[in-house]
């Protein structure tokens, strides 16, 4: 399996090289050169498998010959040992035809653990084979950072530098990052938004001498391996509801577009997925696009669902590339125009093609709080603000006879203020995090400038490799 850039000017790479490279040299994102496809019999053969085994089977065509099959199965098995539910990704019914898949039973209580724990294992394996070291630089709107840190902490071959927007995450989210004190972990509180953090990470990767010198790699969903490792839970859910003999639909609270892109990838592989429903908060650029072809950046406004406080959804570029029939020049031109003007000029026929699969719903904070309250009252289900938005989107777009599965992406205990306001309940943190608020924190506040970030990365690498 080889991987190509959405902008067409970077060399094709193997899976292991894509894992270690992250962002393509031309600023694009990597995708498989050809999409693997499973037959009905191959899908059926996955039914009833334990989740780690299913994950390894789904990942196999993406990994290709880079990692031997038995090794990949062992890495996936190790990745999920820290999850606190025997099903890993349990399914719950909340209404007639509407179900929830819980993705928050990993060590940091968010769906990012599903892929990040696999990535930690993959990085360690590949780097040991190559006797090499990389520096992970990532931006987080709340959950990616803690999941990346948890997966990479204490690993000798990895330095980890995570940027989060200062005062724009929940306290639980921040402390999950800043209370990890291993010497290979550096946390930076950036004086700006998540979009600023994401741009600063891309600036580091765009500086080729710096990128090479620091051996930069990424764990954000710009890294294709992150997306690939998220595909299995959509497969698991669909198979549980009768696929490949029956269609299913998914609803996903969506910020950076990586999670829902993994569902789209599963559909590309032949899984019978009818609709993909985007749930947005007041930062509703994706819903505006789907409803009116209006992909125009606006100011990022803090909300009850901070992981979705985004106006630049990086992974949308991968979908755009596919919708443009893999015209890399057109994709590069549209993306460059978007960053320079703040408006993405998507051709009408491309937009219509997106709407054949994707739908969008946006809730403001008041509507999100009402949804959390109603879910608890009517279904005795406690959903965090992100998950509640996804469930609302699923309800709106469900169709008779087609199971609608909404992704529950974070544990409600990560957002206690919102949960208390909506339900009067203060969800308890799991035992392994119950002392979180008494732990020592360690992080640096930095301005939103490339030089400040590069200086911090250099210092982190120097302290961790000497």
Residue 390 lies in a domain: yes
In a domain, 282, yes or no: yes
φ/ψ of residue 176, rounded to 5: -65, -25
Q: How many CA atoms lie within 13 A of 381 on its CB side?
A: 24
3-state secondary structure of 105: coil
SS3 sequence, 388-424?
HHHHHHHHHHCECCECEEEEECECHHHCHHHHHHHHC
Do the Cβ atoms of 317 and 331 come closer than 8 Å? yes
Q: Which residues pair with 165 in a beta bridge?
A: 190
DSSP per-residue codes, 59-72: HHHHHTTSS-HHHH
Give the chain's domain count.
Answer: 1
Of 164, 364, 173, the residue nearest 279 (C-alpha) = 364
Upstream peptide bond of 244 is cis (omega within 30 degrees of 0): yes
Q: What is the pTM of this model?
A: 0.95
Name the DSSP letter for residue 436.
Answer: G
Q: Residue 244's domain spans which residues?
A: 91-107+226-423
* Selection from 118, 131, 101 nearest residue 19 by Cα: 118
- 34 part of a folded domain: no
Active site residues: 112
Q: How far apart are CA 319 and CA 301, in angstroms?
A: 25
61 vs 177: CA distance, rounded Å: 33
Q: Are strands 185-191 and 158-165 parallel, antiparallel or unpaired?
A: parallel
From CA 158, how far away is CA 390, in angstroms rounded? 34
**Rounded to an integer, what distance in angstroms lies between the CA atom of residue 385 and that of residue 408?**
10
Q: What is the CATH number of the domain that holds 276?
A: 3.40.50.1100
258 domain-assigned: yes
Q: Could you tell me if residue 146 is inside a domain? A: no
Q: What is the pLDDT along the chain (466 residues), one digit of tens a residue?
A: 999 999 999 999 999 999 999 899 999 999 999 999 999 999 999 999 999 999 999 999 999 999 999 999 999 999 999 999 999 999 999 999 999 999 999 999 999 999 999 999 999 999 999 999 999 999 998 889 999 999 999 998 999 999 999 999 999 999 999 999 999 999 999 999 999 999 999 999 999 999 999 999 988 888 999 999 999 999 999 999 999 999 999 999 999 999 999 999 999 999 999 999 999 999 999 999 999 999 999 999 999 999 999 999 999 999 999 999 999 999 999 999 999 999 999 999 999 999 999 999 999 999 999 999 999 999 999 999 999 999 999 999 999 999 999 999 999 999 999 999 999 999 999 999 999 999 999 999 999 999 999 999 999 888 876 5
Q: Is residue 408 part of a domain?
A: yes
What three-state secondary structure class fits 445? strand
Per-residue model confidence (pLDDT) at position 278: 98
pLDDT at position 392 is 98
Is residue 162 a part of any domain in this protein? Answer: no
Question: Which residue carries 């209006």 as its tokens?
Answer: 294
Q: Is residue 31 part of a domain?
A: no
Q: Per residue in 146-175, is it b (16+ CB within 10 Å) or e — as a string? A: bbbbbbbbebebbbbbbbbbbebbbebbbb
DSSP letter string, 337-383: HHHHHSEE---HHHHHHHHTTEEEEE--HHHHHHHHHHHHHHH----
What is the Cα–Cα distance from 274 to 397, expressed in whole angstroms?
11
């Amino acid at each position: 399996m080889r991987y190509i850039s959405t902008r067409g000017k970077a060399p094709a790479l193997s899976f292991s090289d894509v894992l270690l490279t992250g962002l393509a040299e031309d600023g694009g994102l990597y995708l498989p050169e050809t999409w693997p496809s499973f037959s009905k019999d191959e899908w059926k053969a996955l039914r009833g498998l334990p989740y780690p085994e299913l994950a390894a089977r789904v990942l196999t065509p993406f990994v290709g010959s880079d990692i031997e099959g038995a090794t990949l199965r062992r890495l996936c098995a190790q990745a999920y040992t820290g999850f606190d539910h025997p099903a890993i990704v349990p399914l719950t019914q909340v209404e007639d035809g509407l179900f929830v898949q819980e993705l928050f039973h990993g060590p940091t209580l968010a769906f990012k653990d599903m892929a990040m724990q696999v990535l930690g294992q993959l990085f360690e394996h590949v780097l040991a084979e190559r006797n090499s070291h990389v520096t992970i630089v990532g931006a987080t709107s709340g959950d990616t950072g803690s999941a990346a840190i948890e997966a990479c902490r204490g690993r000798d071959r990895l330095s980890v530098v995570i940027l989060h927007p200062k005062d724009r995450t929940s306290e639980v989210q921040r402390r999950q990052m800043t209370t990890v004190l291993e010497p290979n972990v550096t946390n930076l509180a950036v004086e700006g938004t998540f979009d600023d953090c994401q741009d600063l990470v891309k600036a580091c990767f765009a500086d080729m001498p710096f990128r090479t010198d620091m051996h930069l790699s990424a764990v954000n969903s710009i890294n294709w391996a992150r997306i690939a490792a998220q595909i299995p839970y959509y497969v698991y859910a669909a198979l549980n509801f009768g696929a490949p003999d029956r269609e299913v639909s998914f609803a996903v609270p969506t910020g950076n577009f990586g999670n829902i892109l993994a569902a789209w990838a599963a559909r590309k592989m032949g899984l019978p997925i009818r609709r993909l429903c985007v749930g947005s908060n007041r930062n509703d650029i994706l819903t505006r696009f789907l409803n009116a072809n209006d992909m125009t950046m606006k100011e990022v406004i803090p909300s009850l669902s901070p992981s979705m406080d985004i106006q630049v959804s990086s992974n949308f570029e991968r979908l755009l590339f596919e919708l443009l029939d893999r015209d890399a020049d057109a994709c590069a031109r549209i993306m460059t125009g978007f960053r320079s003007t703040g408006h993405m000029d998507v051709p009408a026929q491309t937009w219509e093609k997106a709407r054949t699969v994707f739908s969008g719903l946006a809730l403001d904070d008041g509507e999100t709080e009402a949804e959390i309250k109603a879910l608890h009252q009517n279904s005795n289900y406690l959903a965090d603000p992100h998950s509640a938005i996804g469930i609302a989107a699923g309800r709106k777009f469900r169709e008779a006879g087609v199971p609608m599965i909404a992704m529950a992406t974070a544990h409600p205990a990560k957002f206690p203020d919102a949960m208390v306001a909506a339900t009067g309940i203060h969800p308890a943190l799991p035992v392994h995090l119950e002392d979180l608020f008494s732990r020592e924190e360690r992080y640096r506040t930095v301005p939103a400038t490339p030089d400040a970030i590069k200086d911090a990365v250099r210092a982190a690498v120097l302290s961790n490799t000497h």
